[in-house]
Structures are given as C-alpha cells and as structure tokens.
Amino acid sequence: MSKLHEECGVFGIYSPDGHDVAGACYYALYALQHRGQESCGIVVNHQGLMRSHKDTGLVNDVFTKDVLDSLGYGEIAVGHVRYGTSGINPAQNAQPLTVNHVKGLMALAHNGCLTNAYELREEQELNGSIYHTTSDAEVIAYAIVKERLKTKSIEDAVSNAMDSLKGAYSIVMMSSTKLIGARDPYGFHPLCIGKLNESWVFASETCALDAIGATFVRDVEPGEVVIADKNGLRSNTAHVGEKPRGLCVFEYIYFARPDSVVDGSSVHMARQRAGAFLALDHPVQADVVIGVPDSGIDAAIGYARQSGIPYGIGFIKNKYIGRTFIQPTQSDRENKVRIKLNPVSSVVKGKRVVLVDDSIVRGTTCARIVKLLRDAGATEVHMRSSAPPFLYPCYFGTDIDKRENLIAYNHTIEEIREIIGVDSLGYLRPENAERLCDNTACGFCTGCFTGEYPCDPPATTVKSKFERSIMEGGNK
C-alpha cells in the first residue's frame, strides 16, 4: 500500500452485423491496462454462444493471437482488467463472469465496490446461491438473475437490481442479444459511450474509445442503464438524479489516463490545475520542478507554469515495469522502485528540486524516490502532493482499508517531512481537490480526505466466511 490500488477497467462492444469484437476488446483493454494489471478477460457472444478466456497477467500476455483466434468473430463482447489484492486467488476472481441461468446466458464485468456486499451475499447464500469467487461481481450477477426471473427484459432486471445494490459500481454486461452498461446512482466510477461505424461501445475511459477508433458520444449518467441492441441505443433513467453526484476525485488525480476525458473534464487539465493550486498554496525558491512518472508529471507542469520555475524531466521510467503496488509484498514493492525509476542527474545535480507526486499513502515509496534524488546530487528536495493527506478509509474501490496504514493519520506534516527526508512538504487542500473539474455539474467523493462519504460505509468489509478463509490461507 505504498501507492493506491486502482480501479478495474471495463469495456463492451455491440456490433449488429458481426465484427472482430474480440480484437476490439483486446485493443481497448490494452488502453485500459493502467486500471488493472493482475488479470484480464474477454467473453465473446456469437449467435447466442459465449466463448470466454481469462487469466492472470497483462493483456498482451494473456491474449496471444491463437487465443484471440479461438474467441472468433461475434456480435457482442465484454472485457475486463483487474487490479491485484493480497491473499486472494487472482485467477479465481478474474472477470468477466459468465452465468447460465434459466432465462439464458449473461456475462458481466464490474468496477467498484459494494457497501452492502456482505449482507447481500449472506442473503443469497441462505437462498441457495453457490459462490465460486470473492468478487462483488458475483454478488451483482446473482442480484440481477434474481430480478430477471421476475421481469420481461434483462435491462429491467438490472434497473430493479439497482434498488438493492449499494455503493460503487460501473457495469458492462451482455445477454445473448444485448450489450448493457450501468452506473451507480452516485457515479463513483466513470463509464462512457462511443460509436464505431454501426457498433456501440461502452468503456471505463475515453482512451479506450480512441484506441479502437471509436467516437465519443457521451458519458453514462449516474444511475442510468444503457442498452445497445438491434434497435440501436436506448436507456433506462429510473435511477438518474436520485442521489448526489460522487465521482471518485482520484480519477482526476491518479487513476485515469491523462488523455481521457471523464464526465466532461480533461484529466490532463485537471492535474495541471492541481499543480497550479500547489504552487499558489506552497511556493518555494527552487531551480527545477520535476514530476514522478506518470501521474505526477501533469501536476508538475502545472506547478512550473504557475510558479515560473522551469520544468525538467527528472526521472526516466522503465516502461516494462508495472506500477509498484502490484508486487505481492511490501519489500518487493520497495525494491522495484530502483528498477522502475532512474533520476536524470544532469537535471537535478546541484539543484533545488520541487518534486511533485500524485499522493502520499504510506510514505515508503516517496522516501526511496527522495533518496534517489539525493544520491543524484539534488541539494534540496521540496515535496508537493497533488492529493490532500489521506486520513480515512475508502470503501468504494480502492484499498485504503485501515486508517492505521496511512502515514498522515499517524503523523503530522512535519513528522512526515522528516520521515520521507524532504526539505519542505505541501499537500493539495481538500477544498481545491473539489475544484479540479471544469465541469460545474461534477460532484466528488473526497471521503478519504474528509471522512464525509456520499453514502453510508459498510457495516463490515468481510463478505463471508468463505472469503475470510481464503484470505487467512493466503497470508500463512
């Protein structure tokens, strides 16, 4: 937890005349790889027959040419990339999930975290449901199937299931004839709609649309269910507007790719705005501003422009190393920092450096990065975080599960400055985090900074005895 665990990434495509939907999924998931690097999967539907492949690993490793050829052409496909969590079998929880129920087949991919997963799962198990994973996606699937037995259409089942689902979820799923997307009424996580010739596509981020040459149409509204089938695109808005907007602010700070547009606002510009706020609130005399690749770079550019201090490329990133938090143990994560980042000594040697990063969670990665700069000859290092201090858990899709794991909860800013070894330290103010979006309709969840959440946190974060036994077994 030296850095945040990310959200997952979801994608779906409906091609009425048949298409290489598996190939489209592949390239879209490649573009969404930053959202999850532990497992991935694709399910293809062709005339009611669903073919699936999922496994641990990166997209280009899991989906070889032979695998993609075996999935074949089809009318609909759903894909997923997933981040890793300690102690849980990653292959077991790979998505999309395929469910065969009395009214047909469906495949579902999910991004987010339910706050009432424990209660729903307990209820479903008591009614005979048999679980094979510890994922919220299976809870959602059973909730939809339950409603499908009582409704005339799969989209009505999804809408009705939303009455019982609480918390954060962006869903892309398919039946044998329809592609469906749904976003929770708070809109915690993004979901957008695109058009590729006669095909409709749904994706976590617009960068996935760009990767396959699709045109952005619009964002899915919080609470909306969108359906693509032979009749085109339509939506169910029964839950739209029933809750205040609560987009996770970390989509702009860290999770989303900078070339994406989330809920009408450029991620790239939002991060530059965060850097400008930092320069105004935490000025310092320095020679160069550098960013920690990748999500700290835009904020560093914003800081440099606002402050007038030159921007420099302070680190070269090894692009063949994944984000540090995906390593299974803390010692492995720390050791990878040296391999992943190498300082450019000609930029920092003998210089007073402003170092901008997206966040400080536990502080161990920051301390090692600062040491790299010191060893490269930086005379001063002034740390700036484009996120406010983490003080509270997140219950909606990131792995900030205990306050005790957060350096800002256990230490003052001055103590953190000493621990990570910098000459000064400044954080983005929480009120400025809510000003990153240039879309006035945006509303944010900033609960990990303020302790104020859009909806009630879960009563428990352990979903079942089954999950507990897996976690304990994985940690022995």
Catalytic residue among 8, 192, 394, 445: 8
Question: Are 161 and 143 a contacting pair, CB within 8 Å?
Answer: yes
Q: In 8-28, which positions are buried (b, 16+ CB within 10 angstroms) versus exposed (e)?
A: bbbbbbbbbeebbbbbbbbbb
101 within 8 A of 145, measured Cβ to Cβ: yes
- Indicate the SS3 state at residue 154: helix
Residue 241, both tokens: 């507007």
Q: Which residues pair with 218 in a beta bridge?
A: 193
Q: What CA–CA distance (Å, rounded) separates 262 from 208?
A: 12
Q: Parallel, antiparallel, or unpaired: how do β-strands 225-229 and 104-114 relate? A: unpaired
In total, the chain counts a number of residues equal to 476
Element spanning 408, H or E: helix 407-410
Residue 8 annotated to the active site: yes
Q: Which helix (H) or strand (E) holds 139?
A: helix 136-148
Q: Which amino acid is at 452?
A: E
Provide the Cα torsion 368, 373, 379, 383; round to 10°: -60
Element (H, E) at 375: helix 364-375
**What burial class does residue 388 get, using C-beta atoms within 10 Å of its C-beta: 0-12 exposed, 13-18 middle, 19+ buried?**
buried
Are the C-beta atoms of 73 and 19 separated by less than 8 Å? yes
Backbone angles phi, psi at 329, to 5 degrees: -130, 160
DSSP notation for 263-301: TTEEHHHHHHHHHHHHHHHS----SEEEE-TTTTHHHHH
Which active-site residues does the annotation give? 8
